[in-house]
Amino acid sequence: MEHYNMNLTLKVWRQQNAQSQGQFETYQVKDISSEMSFLEMFDVLNEQLISEGKEPITFDHDCREGICGACSMFIDGQPHGPWSETTTCQLHMRQYKNGDTIVVEPWRAKAFPVIKDLMVDRSAFDRIIQAGGYISVNTGNAQDANCLPIAKDKADESFAAAACIGCGACVAACKNASAMLFLSAKVAHLALLPQGEPERRSRVMNMVEQHDKEGFGACTNTMACEAECPKAISILNIRRLNAEYIGAVSSGRD
């Protein structure tokens, strides 16, 4: 693939904190390599701002390998940018050409207040997990894997749901700022396994209750969440979540 350099215009959201009013600021970056990742391009911009005596742009990142989901940015109207099944750190500048203008914003959701600039507080997801997204039953020493048979299709479905990295792209993409795809993935991957059976009813009821308490919206099946999820989490998990919840309500919380 041909390597080239480009000059770009960036319109970046700047906001001091959740209480202050933010605004877009325009920056010019030059000689950006097509082989850079999107975050490396932001590193160049921040080095430029620091050299000019200006405050660098705050953005979240950690692994830069598409694993942690921290690199959450709304790029030209799409969570994580234009590439499908890709986090922001995996997006490369060869997507763009010389002279392009790129608009970058934070996630927009009541439950994800802005910490600063492009960094948002996603601790609402942590509280949903703390409400029941775990197995707390004392089972003693771990059994040999072959002593706990699990159907291959169930194991595969559970693994696929567990691939959710909790980045919040589903919330950012949803017109209702719903976290149902995230919630359903966390419920499904345990509900599909025998280890999750003892707390199955209380888990789904407690996690749904916390989801609503955090201020996330309801799902209206637009499927935007599935389309923008960097890990291709299936919306079928929401169907499973609804079945789990109805079953728990009908049977009573454990």
Predicted confidence (pLDDT) per residue in 189-208, tens digit: 999 998 888 899 999 999 99
> Is the C-alpha dihedral spanning 100, 44, 107, 207 positive or negative?
positive
- Residue ranges making up the domain that contains 155: 123-251
Q: Looking at the chain, how many residues does it have?
A: 254
The confidence score (pLDDT) of residue 141 equals 74
CATH number at residue 237: 1.10.1060.10
User: pLDDT digits over 162-180, tens only?
Assistant: 999 999 999 999 999 999 9
Per-residue pLDDT at 114: 97
Rounded CA gap, 215 and 76, in Å? 25
Answer with the one of 63, 97, 115 that is the final residue of a domain: 115
230 and 151 within one domain: yes
d(CA 41, CA 187): 37
Phi-psi group of 24: left, alpha or beta (phi > 0 → left; psi -120 to 50 → alpha; rest → beta) = beta
Amino acid, res. 61:
H
Distance separating alpha carbons of residues 47 and 98, to the nearest angstrom: 21
Q: Are residues 168 and 206 in the same domain?
A: yes
**106 contacts 167 by C-beta, under 8 angstroms:** no
Task: With cut-offs at 50, 70 and 90, classify the pLDDT of residue 149.
Answer: confident
Confidence at residue 75, expressed as pLDDT on a 0 to 100 scale: 98
Here the CATH number for the domain that contains residue 64 is 3.10.20.30
State the greatest distance between any 2 C-alpha atoms of the chain, in Å, as a whole number.
64
Domain limit, last residue, from 89, 115, 141: 115
Q: What does the pLDDT look like over 237-250, one tens digit per residue?
A: 999 999 999 999 99
Domain count of the fold of the chain: 2
Residue 202 phi/psi, 5° resolution? -65, -35
Last residue of a domain, one of 78, 95, 115: 115
* Per-residue confidence (pLDDT) for residue 1, from 0 to 100: 67
Residue 148 is predicted with a pLDDT of: 75
For residues 85 and 157, membership in a common domain is answered with no
195 and 242, same domain (yes or no): yes
